[in-house]
Structure 1
Amino acid sequence: MPVPVLFVRGWPLLALAAMLSLVPEAHAQRVSARDRVKIEALEQRMAAAEKRYSAALVLVNNADPKGKNEGDAALEDMEDVISACVAQKGCQVSNLLPTYKRLLKSRADSQDSEGDAIAGDGGLLEADPDHVSPLTADVPEAARAAALLNDKRHAFDSMVEYNPAVQAGIRRWLTDMRPALMTTYENYQNLRAVMWPEWEKRGLPEALLFGIMAKESNGRVHASSRAGAAGLMQFMPATGRRFGLGPDGTGFDTRFDARSAAEASATYINERMRELNGNVELSLAGYNGGEGRAARVFRQSAGQSFWVDSVYNQFPGETKDYVPMVIAAAWIFLHPQQYGVEFPKLNAQPATIRLAKSTTIYELTICLGSAGTRDGYMRALRNLNPRYEADGWIPAGTTINATTRIAGLYNRYCVNGPRADLARTLITADLNAAIVRPAVASYTGNVAVGSVVPVAQAQASVVAATPVAPVAAPAPKPKPKAKPVRSHKVGKGQTLGAIADKFQCDVRELARANGLKAPAYALRQGQVLKLQGCGK
C-alpha cells in the first residue's frame, strides 16, 4: 500500500511541516490556557491517528483488504489535524514531525518484509481460488488488531472462566511448552486464510480455533495419534465421516486438508454449543472426551459449570487437562503483550507457484532457505500441500500452494542458479555411492618350489601312478524354502507404524503389500494385513 502524499492548501504536507519546523521557538506565539487545551487535543488526535495507521499496517501484512481503507482513513485524520494545527494559535507543526518519522519508518519496515513477495515477472502471484477464499466482509480484524495493541478485553474472555486451572495452563504454555506455542502460531498464520473464514462465518471465536489447534496438533497437518485421530483438528475416523471427512477415493484422507478440517470442526463445536447451552468448557470436554458423556453430564447436573466438582470429576484426566490448556492457549493468543509474548511476524499472504521443473518438497525446502522464518519453509509447504509426500517428486508444470514470500524465494533461488543446483545435488545424493568396493587383487607373494617339472610331464606321471576312480557329481543344493508371508489382524487403535515396530517391518513395504496410501495409511479394526518384509 503506497503511502499517500498529504497536502495542506496545495503544499505537500511533509514539506510544509519541514519548513515550519525551521521557525525558531523564540518566535512562537504566547499561548493561553484555552489554546493549550486545544493544542493538546490536536496532539492526542495525531497520536490516535498514528495508532490507527499502525493497526492498518497489521491488516495489510495479514492480507486483509480492510487494511488499505483503514490506512487511508488514518492519513486523512492526520491531514485534518495538520490543517487544524496550522489554523490554531500557538500550535507548532514541528511538534508533530516525530509522528511522521515513525509512520514512514513503519511503512519502510513493512515494505522490506514484503520485498520477497514479487514474482519473476514483477507482479504478485495470485492465490489459487480453490486454495483460499477471501475473508468475508465482516471479519472483525480491525477490532482484533486494535485489541492486540491495547490488550483490551475480548468477547471470548466473557465466554470462559479465567481461573487457576487456566492460569496453570498459561504457565505451561509460557515455559516448557513455549516452543510449541510459537510453532503453532507460525503454522496457523500460514493456514489462517483457509481456516479462519470457516469459523468466522459460523460465529465462532478465532482464539478458540487457535487454542484447539495448539493442543491437538501444534498446527501440523499430518499429525496422527495412536488412537487413529488425524489432521490439524484430530478427527477420529467415525466422527470425521459424520462431517464429510475421510478417504476421498484418490488415496487421500481429507482429515489432512486444512479447509475441510476447519469447516468440520466449526460445525462440530457449534453442535456441541447448541446442545450444551453455549458452554465452551463443556463443548471442549465433548470434543476431547466424547460428546455423549458431555451431554449426559450436562443433563444430570442441570447445566452446572464444568468446574463444579460433581461435573469436573465425571471426565477422564486427559479431558481435565485438555479444557484449561485450550483456553489458556486462546487467552495468550488474545493477550500476548500481557504475558510478554511477541509472536513472530510472517508474510503469509496466499499465492501459488507453477513449478518450472520437477521437484520435491525436500528440494524446495533446501533451495528456499530460511529467510524470514526460524525453521525454514518445509512445514508451511507440507501444510499447504498435504497431498504430496515430502520426498515424492512433483511434476514440472504443477501448481502448488504457497505464500507470496515463498513464491518470491522460489523464483529467486529454486528455478536456476547455484542454490538450485546445490539443492538438486543434495536431494539426489545416494549413500551407496560413498561406499568404496575395490576390485579383487591377484596374489603377489613368493612360493617356495623344488625342481621344476614341465606340466605335461607331471600330469602324465600322475595318471600312470594313480588308478582312475569315477568322480561323483556334486549334489544340488536344496533351495531354501521361502518364508511364508504371515498376517496380522488389526486391533482397536492400532496404527501401521505401531504394527511395523512390533513385527520389525519396513513401513513402506508393508503399506505397498497391503495397498495402503500415504500419508494416512488408514487402517480399520479387524483388517487383516500381510506382514510383507517383516523380521519377526
Structure 2
Amino acid sequence: MPLHLQKSRLFAAIVLLCCIAPPALAQRVSARDKAAAEVLVQQMAAAESRYRQAVVLVANGDPKGTAESNAALEDMEDAVDACARQRGCPLSDLLATFKRLLKAGVDARTADLEEDPGDEGLLEADPALAADVPEAMRAARLLGDDSRHGFDRMVRFNPAIQAGIRRWLTDMRPQLMTSYENYQAMRHLMWPEFERRGLPEALLFGILAKESNGRVHSVSRAGAGGPMQFMPATGRRFGLGPDGTGFDTRYDPRSAAEASATYLNERLRELNDDMELSLAGYNGGEGRALRVHRSSGGTGFWNASVYDQFPAETRDYVPMVIAAAWIFLHPRQYGVSFPKVDAQPAPLKLSRPASIYELTVCLGNTGNRDGYMRTLRNLNPRYEAETWIPAGTVLAATTRIAGLYHRHCESGARAELAHALVTADVNAAIVRDGPAGSVAVGEVTPLPGVATTIATEQPRPAAPKAQQARGYRVAAGDTLGRIAQRHGCELKTLARANGLKAPGYAVRQGQQLRLEGCRR
C-alpha cells in the first residue's frame, strides 16, 4: 500500500479512537487486565518501531520497505482493536503513537513547502486525506493540548528581549540558522529529556543556540564543554564526564540534555520558578543566583537590585537565550523561515573502513548547503573527524545520509576519490634532489654483514643524534588524540611527556605541549 494511503488509515484510526468511550477506565482493573493491557501497549510500541524502520527502507529505495510498513500498520490496527475491547487499556497512549506517526508523515510531505504550515495547518497540508476522513479535522483538534507556547508564560517579554531578537535576526542570523539545523538533527535525542522533565522545547533550543550553536564538541575558554556547555565539576554532579573509555559524556547530546534539564529544574525549585533567574544561575553560577534571590526577597531578575549583581556576560546571556526561544516559537511573526532539515534518524552500517572526513567528502552536499560533517559528528560524538572507523561499525545518521552513502560511498568512483583525498600526503608532493656526486674520504674497510660509519670506522653504527622535541600550543577544540594523529605521535608517549593522566588526557586551550616522539 502506498504511503499516502497508509496516512489515510492513520487518520481513520485517530478518528476511531477519539470516538471510543473508555468506560473500562472508570472501573476497577484487575491485575490480569493490567497485564493484558501492558502486552498491548508493548505490541503497539514494537509495531511503531517496525513502521519507522520500514520508512527508512522506503527512503533508501529498498523494495522491502513498503511490505514491511503495511505489515506494521496492520499490527498497530490490531492492537488498537484489541485495546478498545480490553479493560484498563490506555487508549491515550495508542493515540499518541498515531499522532507521532501522522506528524512525521506530514512533516515529510511538507518538506518542500516555502513556509512551514505550523500546527494549525496540519491537515491542510494534505487535503486529500481530510477528504478521505470527514471527521479528521475534529480528530486533530482532540489530539491534545499544545504546550509549545508554555514558555511564553514563563518569561517576561520586554525591551531587552526585543534587543536580543534584533541581534539574532541581524548579525547573528547565520548562527541562529546553524543552531536550528544542528538542533533538528539531534532533536530526537535531546527533546525527550526536556519533555520528560516538564520543560519547554523552546528553552532547550534557546540554551543550545546561545551556548554552542548546536556543536557538540564546542569548548569554551573557561573549559565548559558539549552542546549545553557544562563545566567539568558541574557535569560530574549530574553524571557527566570521562566514562572509562576516554570519552567525555558532556559531548553526548542525550546525556547533556538530560543533565541540563535536571539542573534547570533544580534551579527553578530553588528560585521560586523564576526562569530568568534560573538562566542567570545556569550561566553565572548557582550559588550567586541563590544568594541574590534570598537577599532581594524574591525580586525578579529585571529589578536593578538583582540585575546589577550579575556580571555583564550573564546580563547578556539571559535575554539572548529567551530571544532565541521566542523566535523558535514565533518564526512567522519575525519573517523567519527556518531551514528544512531531513532529520529522520537511521542507522548507517559501514561496508568499508572510513573516517567522518572521508564520509563527508563522499556524501556531497545534496539537500544540505554545508554538507553532512556536522551532523555526523553531532550524532557520533565519540569519533574524531579524522579517526578511521572499522567496517561493520553502525553509525547514527539520517535517512538522507544513509541513502547517499548506499548510492555513492559503498563503492565506485566517488568513494575512491574521497579516499584518495583524505589520505593525500602533502610531503609526497615535495621533490627532493639526490646528492650531486660522491666525495672520497679515505680508506674504509667494511666488515661483512656489519655497517660501518665514516666518522668512527668502527663495525657498529654511530648512535643517532637525539631528536629534539618540538612544542605545540593547544588550540580551541583540540584533543590530545587529535594532536597525536596530526603530528604522528604515539598517544601514551605524548601524554607521559606532558604529565597527562588517563583516561581523559584533558588539555586546555593555550596549553604548551612537548611533541615528544612525534614523526611530523
The reply to whether TM is greater than 0.5 is yes
Q: From 277, 295, 302, give the equivalent of 1:282.
A: 277
Tell me how far 1:383 sits from its aligned partner: 0.4
Q: From 254, 257, 261, give the equivalent of 1:266.
A: 261
Deviations 1:341-390 (A, max 9, x none): 10111111111111100001011001111111120000000000001110
SS in 1 for 2:475: helix
Asked whether the equivalents of residues 281 and 323 of structure 1 are also in contact (C-alpha less than 8 Å), the reply is yes
In the other structure, the counterpart of 2:60 is 118
Going from structure 1 to structure 2, the CA distance change for 1:433 and 1:199 (only over 3 Å counts) comes to same
Deviations 1:113-149 (A, max 9, x none): 99993155654999xxxxxxx999499987x942698
Going from structure 1 to structure 2, the CA distance change for 1:115 and 1:341 (only over 3 Å counts) comes to farther
Tell me how far 1:69 sits from its aligned partner: 3.7
In the other structure, the counterpart of 2:506 is 522
Going from structure 1 to structure 2, the CA distance change for 1:510 and 1:397 (only over 3 Å counts) comes to closer
SS in 1 for 2:384: coil
For residues 94-113 of structure 1, what are the structure 2 equivalents within 5 Å? none
Asked whether the equivalents of residues 510 and 531 of structure 1 are also in contact (C-alpha less than 8 Å), the reply is no
In the other structure, the counterpart of 1:497 is 475
Q: From 194, 203, 206, give the equivalent of 1:211.
A: 206
**Alpha-carbon distance in structure 2 between the residues aligned to 1:192 and 1:206:** 9
In the other structure, the counterpart of 1:349 is 344
**Alpha-carbon distance in structure 1 between the residues aligned to 2:276 and 2:194:** 18
In the other structure, the counterpart of 1:4 is 5
Going from structure 1 to structure 2, the CA distance change for 1:153 and 1:441 (only over 3 Å counts) comes to closer
SS in 2 for 1:393: coil
1:146 aligns with 2:147: no
* Equivalent AA in structure 2 for residue 497 of structure 1: A
Asked whether the equivalents of residues 364 and 414 of structure 1 are also in contact (C-alpha less than 8 Å), the reply is yes
Asked whether the equivalents of residues 166 and 327 of structure 1 are also in contact (C-alpha less than 8 Å), the reply is yes
Q: From 375, 393, 399, give the equivalent of 1:398.
A: 393
* Equivalent AA in structure 2 for residue 357 of structure 1: R
SS in 2 for 1:531: strand
**Alpha-carbon distance in structure 2 between the residues aligned to 1:298 and 1:428:** 57
Going from structure 1 to structure 2, the CA distance change for 1:69 and 1:272 (only over 3 Å counts) comes to farther
Tell me how far 1:317 sits from its aligned partner: 0.3
SS in 1 for 2:395: strand
Which sections of structure 1, spanning at least 5 residues, go unmatched?
A: 6-59, 61-66, 78-112, 127-133, 444-472, 489-494
Asked whether the equivalents of residues 117 and 405 of structure 1 are also in contact (C-alpha less than 8 Å), the reply is yes
SS in 2 for 1:356: coil
**Alpha-carbon distance in structure 1 between the residues aligned to 2:155 and 2:328:** 14
Asked whether the equivalents of residues 116 and 404 of structure 1 are also in contact (C-alpha less than 8 Å), the reply is no
Asked whether the equivalents of residues 276 and 282 of structure 1 are also in contact (C-alpha less than 8 Å), the reply is yes
* Equivalent AA in structure 1 for residue 284 of structure 2: G
* Equivalent AA in structure 2 for residue 299 of structure 1: R
Q: Which has the higher relative contact order, 1 or 2, with Cα contacts under 8 A spaced 6 or more apart?
A: 1
Tell me how far 1:484 sits from its aligned partner: 8.4
**Alpha-carbon distance in structure 2 between the residues aligned to 1:369 and 1:72:** 40
For residues 106-185 of structure 1, what are the structure 2 equivalents within 5 Å? 117-118=59-60, 123=65, 137=96, 145-146=118-119, 154-185=149-180
1:201 aligns with 2:196: yes
In the other structure, the counterpart of 2:514 is 531
Asked whether the equivalents of residues 207 and 331 of structure 1 are also in contact (C-alpha less than 8 Å), the reply is yes
**Alpha-carbon distance in structure 1 between the residues aligned to 2:98 and 2:287:** 33
For residues 294-443 of structure 1, what are the structure 2 equivalents within 5 Å? 294-440=289-435
Tell me how far 1:186 sits from its aligned partner: 0.4
Asked whether the equivalents of residues 348 and 403 of structure 1 are also in contact (C-alpha less than 8 Å), the reply is yes
User: What is the number of equivalent residue pairs in this alignment?
Assistant: 392
* Equivalent AA in structure 1 for residue 229 of structure 2: Q
Deviations 1:155-183 (A, max 9, x none): 21111011110100000000110000000
Deviations 1:427-465 (A, max 9, x none): 12121222223445569xxxxxxxxxxxxxxxxxxxxxx
Deviations 1:454-512 (A, max 9, x none): xxxxxxxxxxxxxxxxxxx9999x98985887999xxxxxx943799xxxx98865965
Going from structure 1 to structure 2, the CA distance change for 1:264 and 1:135 (only over 3 Å counts) comes to farther
SS in 1 for 2:319: helix
Asked whether the equivalents of residues 179 and 208 of structure 2 are also in contact (C-alpha less than 8 Å), the reply is yes
* Equivalent AA in structure 1 for residue 211 of structure 2: E
Deviations 1:56-79 (A, max 9, x none): xxxx9xxxxxx98459769999xx
* Equivalent AA in structure 2 for residue 200 of structure 1: E
**Alpha-carbon distance in structure 1 between the residues aligned to 2:9 and 2:296:** 50
Asked whether the equivalents of residues 56 and 346 of structure 2 are also in contact (C-alpha less than 8 Å), the reply is no
For residues 474-489 of structure 1, what are the structure 2 equivalents within 5 Å? none
Going from structure 1 to structure 2, the CA distance change for 1:340 and 1:188 (only over 3 Å counts) comes to same
Deviations 1:378-413 (A, max 9, x none): 000000000111011000011111011111111001
Asked whether the equivalents of residues 252 and 518 of structure 1 are also in contact (C-alpha less than 8 Å), the reply is no
Going from structure 1 to structure 2, the CA distance change for 1:239 and 1:153 (only over 3 Å counts) comes to closer
Which has the larger displacement, 153-162 or 307-316? Answer: 153-162
Asked whether the equivalents of residues 190 and 348 of structure 1 are also in contact (C-alpha less than 8 Å), the reply is yes
SS in 1 for 2:198: coil
**Alpha-carbon distance in structure 1 between the residues aligned to 2:227 and 2:288:** 23
* Equivalent AA in structure 2 for residue 118 of structure 1: N
- Among all aligned residue pairs of Structure 1 and Structure 2, give the percentage whose two residues are the same amino acid: 61
**Alpha-carbon distance in structure 1 between the residues aligned to 2:177 and 2:248:** 27
CA root-mean-square deviation: 4.4
SS in 1 for 2:396: strand
Structure with bigger gyration radius? 1
Which sections of structure 2, spanning at least 5 residues, go unmatched?
A: 19-54, 70-92, 104-116, 125-145, 439-454
**Alpha-carbon distance in structure 1 between the residues aligned to 2:477 and 2:422:** 30
Tell me how far 1:424 sits from its aligned partner: 1.3
Tell me how far 1:303 sits from its aligned partner: 1.0
**Alpha-carbon distance in structure 2 between the residues aligned to 1:263 and 1:146:** 26
